[in-house]
Amino acid sequence: MAITIEIDHARTRRMAQGEGQSQGKTQVRSPVRSSGSSRSPRQAGGPVVPQGVKGPIRRLKWLILVLTLGVYYVTPFIRWNRGPNAPDQAVLLDFAHGKLYLGPAEIWPQDLYLITAAMLLATFILVLVNALAGRLWCGFACPQTVWTDLFLLVERLVEGDRRQRLKNIGAPLTTKRVAQIATKHALWMLIALGTGGTLIFYFTDAPDLVRDVVHGEMSATALTWMLVFAGTTYGLAGFAREQVCTFMCPWPRLQGAIWDPEAFTVNYRDYRGERRMSAKKAAEARAQGEPAGDCVDCGACVAVCPIGIDIRQGPNFACINCGLCVDACDGVMAKLDRPRGLIDYESWRNIERGRVGEPRVSRLVRPKTIGLALACLALAGIIAVSFVTTTTAVLSVQHDRDPMAVRLSDGSVRNAYTVKLLNKSSAVQSFRLAIGGVDAALAIVGHAQASVIEVEPDGSETLRVTLTMQEPADADVTFEALDASGHVVLSARDRFVNR
């Protein structure tokens, strides 16, 4: 049995009762009513105009919106004392010095593997969430969803509810209408400028940049990037909206490829809702012993959808799993004194079980989710250990290649190396260089053999080093950097060659 996920949400189709099995395929669609019309928030060729809704899921989305925006706008102003000669901004991407500051951690270009591991961990977490509840990230915490919700809130406050906004589309311009449009776009631009400006704060010291903005001393580069980011926010959240989630973002396509029928996604219990008819007709049908569904075809679930789809037609790759249709449907069911959950977070397997009268089964904990969770924990542990064991200095050695060895007149053999000491801390570090593994004379060009080598904060020192062996032999050699007390703090291995 193959499963087909509907991908065309730009128009609404009628499907006859029982349609869904043809040519050996089971269509993942709900039987659609035999009468009535869909009330789509998308006007013909126009934008999606979603209706506001109240309910527990909407309140949760408002809470997440406040938290995520709070974190985004406040984080650049959080301070972190790293000592002298180091920036005190908790999160800072310092392009000038090639470093990323994350609280106590300082990530250099040499630590790129840590960023790669963190991105891999985020991917595993995203796949795990998908296996549990589909596009939950998209519906609640994705920046596109958060800022679109914020822009829609401004639009509702300025222009009115959905019905009024639909009337405004294509209506003649009046003084009131012009004032509404100007006010809405002015507020959108202020939000966009605040968003773009805040993003710049992550790349430079936030209080200093605010001071420059207030005094009109902002650099042309910073101003350009702020306007670029502001324009991106204004365009994507104000106009593109659901088009980003459906066509521009690659995740819906990946979601379709890894769709899990056991995941708790937003679904319509068609076995309970069909046939659709008004509450009055349903009461009459039931009185006569005829079947009648709980769905009254009010279209509330469609009207509140920010993407413009009808979840009653079955799983759709464009659905962001925001659950607003759940709130809308539950509100209608409560008014009709019918049980909630006609549209709900439910696995597709349980929808199929419900159709044949089998009890529902929750399989959130299964081999797939256990494996993904263990992989996330293992990768998180590796990253944590790597951060803890990361040193504030690095010693690297490169053997000269041409020639690799020089035979001296007394019969001894000399090898030359380039030794680099990198200081990743914000304080001066002092080292003495020594070798182990071979009986050879160490010479540092320009330095006495036992001299102390000082490396400036966030700096490096490159040394030209030679090793001379009286009784030459091929052997491994270990270069060691000693601290003031004589302990080995850094080491690197290379090879002494006798040819």
For 449-483, what is each residue's pLDDT tens digit? 667 899 988 888 999 999 999 988 899 999 999 98
pLDDT (0 to 100) of residue 9:
41
Reported as a single tens digit per residue, the pLDDT across 338-351 is 999 999 999 999 99
Does the pLDDT at position 11 exceed 70?
Answer: no
H/E segment holding residue 455? strand 453-455
Distance CA 485, CA 191 (A): 56
At CA 334, angle to CA 328 and CA 340, rounded to 5? 75
Q: Which residue has the higher pLDDT, 8 or 441?
A: 441
Distance CA 298, CA 186 (A): 35
What φ, ψ does residue 401 adopt, rounded to 5°? -100, -25
Q: What is residue 405's DSSP assignment?
A: -
| Mean pLDDT, the chain, whole residue set | 87
pLDDT (0 to 100) of residue 264:
95
pLDDT (0 to 100) of residue 23:
37
pLDDT (0 to 100) of residue 45:
53
Average pLDDT over residues 49-67: 96
pLDDT (0 to 100) of residue 99:
85
The region of weakest confidence among 87-91, 119-123, 180-184, 444-448 is: 444-448
Does the pLDDT at position 379 exceed 80?
Answer: yes
At CA 431, angle to CA 426 and CA 107, rounded to 5? 35
Distance CA 413, CA 411 (A): 7
pLDDT (0 to 100) of residue 450:
64
Tokens of 80: 């972190």
Distance CA 468, CA 479 (A): 14
Sign of CA dihedral 273, 278, 283, 288: negative
From 322, 301, 286, select the one nearest 58 (Cα to Cα). Answer: 322
The model's pTM is 0.82
Query: 57, 323 in Cβ contact below 8 A?
Result: yes
Q: What percent of the chain shows pLDDT beyond 70?
A: 90
Query: 374, 131 in Cβ contact below 8 A?
Result: no
Average pLDDT over residues 77-100: 87
Query: 4, 261 in Cβ contact below 8 A?
Result: no
Tokens of 452: 């102390």
Distance CA 246, CA 145 (A): 12
Distance CA 457, CA 455 (A): 7
pLDDT (0 to 100) of residue 36:
37
H/E segment holding residue 467? strand 460-469
Distance CA 239, CA 357 (A): 45
From 232, 218, 217, 222, select the one nearest 202 (Cα to Cα). Answer: 222
pLDDT (0 to 100) of residue 342:
96
Q: In what order do the strands lie in the sheet with 99-102?
A: 91-94, 99-102, 105-107
Q: What is residue 369's DSSP assignment?
A: H
Half-sphere exposure of 5 (CA within 13 A, CB side): 18
Report the DSSP beta bridge partners of residue 414.
406, 468
**Domain architecture of the chain: domains with CATH:** 2-46+256-359 (no CATH), 393-496 (2.60.40.10)
206-214 and 175-201 are packed helices; what angle lies between their axes, rounded to 10 degrees? 140
